[in-house]
Amino acid sequence: MTRVTVRPEGLDLDSPGRRDYWLALEHDSIWGDHLIPLTVFVGPEAQDGQGLVAFGSNHGNEYEGPVVLKHLLREISLDAVRGRIILIPVLNPAAFLSGTRESKQEDGVNLNRAFVDGAGVSPALSGITHRIAAFVRQYIWPRVHIVLDLHSGGDVARFSICSNFHHVDDPELAAKIEQTARWYGTPSLMVYQNQTPGLLPSEAERLGKITVGTELGWGRSVNPEGVRYGRQGVMAALINNDLLHGTIEPIAHHAAGTQRKLEMVSRDCFTVAPFAGHYEPLVECGTEVRQGQTFGLLHDFDYPDAEPWPCVAALDGVLLAQAWVAPVPRGQHIGVVARVLD
């Protein structure tokens, strides 16, 4: 497939057919461009402001999303497309190139914190990461009503594999979001706090879009189970929203009715490292724990004879996530115990 290199204003996201682009955004430090792979399918039933976008590599060290979308680029037939489908396997090429959460070799910014006022417009927020956010705002948001942001734990955390979303005030939108999330088939649905500034999903939700994220793996690897869930979630959203012809059946925990809806919005859910140390897990992610139960130990090897610090659940729930890399800095959330909602 031949990809055409264009600036944002050269994109055609509306005419019928399939187009494969390298979206070129000016490089910050060399005479050149950052190239973002973008493929658009537009079928005969496409409507203004309606469609689906799926993003991979919002963070550069999370790989299940890019793998899922790379497979779908080959699998989706234009003949089966009804509406507008935009697939961006690598949204943040600077971070992807360095294999880091942030655009480390460029502006050092985390794209999933970059959707703030003035991003890509204010001179103080003009680096590549904020300009990617500005591109999404100007060119992608007006053309879609469904946003899928495929994440994994990277180096930060190991998760019970989940699809995730925030509470939203509109009950109709909330129901659509939850149903879209359930179709991934993951063991957990994570309802998470919405206080972090600059999140891509938070902005999409505020704009009234059906918005679902994921945590499909961890450790800078490619989890085959996560890839399976990710592909299922994207395909289900396309077929169930009349953007792609076909039929699809529930899989895994969705089919079995064993999905757990877990909420992590209270500060009590988070266990914070009181000192820099090395984390030893005692309980697997996805395991039910009781208030007061020790689920891990934090070791300080400057004091090898000291007892390790116990990581204790502050409430009854499920250990949804915990530190993946053993060395943790002071202040990191080393364990997340989520309340069971249903």
User: Which pLDDT tens digit goes with each residue over 100-149?
Assistant: 999 988 999 999 999 999 999 999 899 999 999 999 999 999 999 999 99
Q: Do 52 and 39 contact (CB within 8 A), yes or no?
A: no
How much is the average pLDDT of 85-97?
97
**Residue-level pLDDT at 1:** 66
Angle at Cα 184 formed by Cα 200 and Cα 79, nearest 5°? Answer: 90
The residues pairing with 18 across neighbouring beta strands, listed in sequence order, are: 41
- What 3-state class would DSSP assign to 18? strand
**Which among 281, 319, 284, 279 is positioned nearest to 298, based on CA atoms?**
279
What digits encode the pLDDT tens for the residues 178-222? 999 999 999 999 999 888 899 999 999 999 999 999 999 999 999
Q: Which domains does the chain have, with CATH numbers?
A: 4-264 (3.40.630.10), 268-340 (2.40.50.100)
Predicted confidence band of residue 31 (pLDDT cuts 50, 70, 90): confident
**Which residue, chain included where needed, has tokens 């949804």?**
320
pLDDT of 27 over the 80 cut: yes
CA 142 to chain centre: 20
pLDDT of 30 over the 90 cut: no
Predicted confidence band of residue 29 (pLDDT cuts 50, 70, 90): confident
Looking at 146-223, list the stretches that DSSP marks H as alpha helix, in order from N- to C-terminal side.
171-182, 200-206
**Measuring CA to CA, how many Å separate 19 from each of 40, 56, 239, 249?**
5, 18, 21, 29
**Residue-level pLDDT at 250:** 98
Q: Do 18 and 39 contact (CB within 8 A), yes or no?
A: yes
d(CA 132, CA 294): 42
Mean pLDDT of all residues belonging to the chain: 96
Percent share of the chain, pLDDT over 70: 100
What digits encode the pLDDT tens for the residues 267-315? 999 999 999 999 999 999 999 999 999 999 999 999 999 999 999 999 9
d(CA 8, CA 95): 20
**Residue-level pLDDT at 193:** 87
Can you read off the two tokens belonging to residue 122?
């204010």
Neighbours of 142 (CB within 10 A): 12
Percent share of the chain, pLDDT over 90: 94
The residues pairing with 146 across neighbouring beta strands, listed in sequence order, are: 52, 210
Neighbours of 80 (CB within 10 A): 15
d(CA 126, CA 120): 5
What digits encode the pLDDT tens for the residues 217-270? 999 999 999 999 999 999 999 999 999 999 999 999 999 999 999 999 999 999
Predicted confidence band of residue 13 (pLDDT cuts 50, 70, 90): very high
pLDDT of 342 over the 80 cut: no
**Residue-level pLDDT at 11:** 98
